[in-house]
Amino acid sequence: MTMPSSRPWSFKLALGGAIWLGLSWLAYALFLVNTPLSLQSTQAGAIAMAGGAVMASSVLALLAMGVGLIKLALLKRRDASWVIAAIWSMGSLSLAFSIYMLTRPLLASAI
């Protein structure tokens, strides 16, 4: 018989938001690697559409992460859940920021 998880729902929400943010930016980077770069695709084509979609997805993931982390910080019971969720959140934020900063010069150089 399986045991239910002892982690609170806010931990699962924060961790899910962090995973969502990281995977969406990795998918965006993979899309950019496999898409031919042209000025039209970066300004009004598939790359612009994918960039808008990943930004909207990032907002939703950051909202989920923020709500989960705030709720975890406000819990009376202190355990390692907050630290684990914060580490995952910082990792996904650094991944998203790194991919964003690495792809900006690439997209700016499209002809």
Q: Say what the pLDDT of residue 23 is.
A: 97
CA distance 25 to 7: 27
Q: What is the pLDDT of residue 1?
A: 58
Contacts of residues 31-39 at CB distance under 8 Å and 24 or more positions apart, as own/partner, are 32/103, 32/106, 32/107, 37/106, 37/107, 37/110, 38/110, 38/111, 39/110, 39/111
For the stretch 37-43, contacts whose Cβ atoms lie closer than 8 Å and that sit 24 or more positions apart, written own/partner, are 37/106, 37/107, 37/110, 38/110, 38/111, 39/110, 39/111, 41/110, 42/107, 42/110
pLDDT averaged over 10-residue windows placed end to end, the chain, 111 residues: 76 95 97 89 89 96 95 82 92 96 88 72
Query: Measured between alpha carbons, how far is 95 from 25 in angstroms, rounded to an integer?
Result: 8
Q: Domain residues of the chain, as ranges?
A: 9-108
Q: What is the rounded (10 degree) CA torsion for 17, 28, 99, 40?
A: -140
Look at residue 70 in the predicted model and tell me its pLDDT. Answer: 92
Structure token digits, residue 28: 């965006």
